[in-house]
């Protein structure tokens, strides 16, 4: 299998989401030594925001695109192809202001491509989205400063991080999604140590 790890934190060694993706990779390689890994950086590398020229190219039929239309889509084409070629996606992301980092949002905008990763069922805007990424699995490894962001928990209504990612990948056709979240980073001390021990054990038990 081919594993794609997507890191989103703007921090390096101080990033706990990166620690989680490293732990995931180490654990997976031990169990499946013949699988291969690709790393995509959205936190410390710049993923450009889409712009008007990108939209003009993306929403044209491929056969109608000019050279001018193609140029803004070069990175997007690479990222979309990367998703198609891999079997498992591992997303390591902190929560920034109750959502995902800007770099990860820019990445999502680049890969949410009509007729590439999703389409309208009827071929015209009908509100019925069909995902085009088949037989894929996503692991979302998230970190958060506070706690209570799970479903039906006190802060669940302002969790625009994991709920957003689950929705986005679901539209692209990926419904096999596992979420592991490390909470309480801002608290530190024993409460954070307990959170780390819990998620470390969960990751080590994958798959």
Gap between the Cα atoms of 117 and 103, Å rounded:
19
Binding-site residues for FMN, in ranges, read 9, 15-17
β-strand partners of 94: 143
Gap between the Cα atoms of 31 and 10, Å rounded:
30
> With bands split at pLDDT 50, 70 and 90, how would you rate the model's confidence at 207?
confident
β-strand partners of 89: 4, 138
> What is the chain's mean pLDDT, rounded?
95
> With bands split at pLDDT 50, 70 and 90, how would you rate the model's confidence at 187?
confident
Per residue in 47-104, pLDDT (tens digit) is 999 999 999 999 999 999 999 999 999 999 999 999 999 999 999 999 999 999 999 9
> With bands split at pLDDT 50, 70 and 90, how would you rate the model's confidence at 25?
very high
Binding-site residues, in ranges, read 9, 15-17
Mean pLDDT for 106-125 is: 94
Per residue in 160-186, pLDDT (tens digit) is 999 999 999 999 999 999 999 999 988
Gap between the Cα atoms of 178 and 63, Å rounded:
38
pTM of the model: 0.94
pLDDT of residue 23: 97
């Amino acid at each position: 299998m081919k594993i794609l790890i997507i890191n989103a934190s703007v921090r390096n060694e101080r990033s706990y989401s990166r620690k989680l993706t490293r732990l995931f990779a180490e654990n997976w390689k031990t169990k499946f030594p013949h699988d291969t890994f690709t790393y995509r950086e959205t936190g410390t590398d710049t993923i450009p925001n889409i712009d008007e020229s990108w939209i003009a190219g993306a929403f044209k039929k491929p056969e109608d695109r000019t050279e001018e239309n193609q140029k803004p889509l070069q990175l997007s084409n690479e990222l979309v192809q990367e998703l198609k070629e891999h079997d498992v996606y591992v997303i390591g992301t902190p929560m920034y202001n109750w959502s995902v980092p800007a770099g990860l949002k820019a990445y999502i905008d680049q890969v949410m491509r009509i007729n590439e990763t999703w389409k309208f069922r009827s071929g015209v805007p009908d509100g019925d989205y069909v995902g085009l990424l088949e037989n894929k699995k996503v692991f979302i490894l998230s970190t958060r400063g506070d706690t209570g962001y799970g479903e039906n928990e006190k802060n669940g209504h302002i969790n625009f991080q994991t709920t957003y990612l689950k929705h986005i990948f679901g539209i692209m056709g990926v419904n096999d999604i596992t979420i592991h979240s490390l909470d309480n980073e801002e608290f530190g001390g024993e409460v954070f140590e307990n959170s780390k021990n819990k998620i470390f054990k969960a990751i080590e038990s994958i798959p």
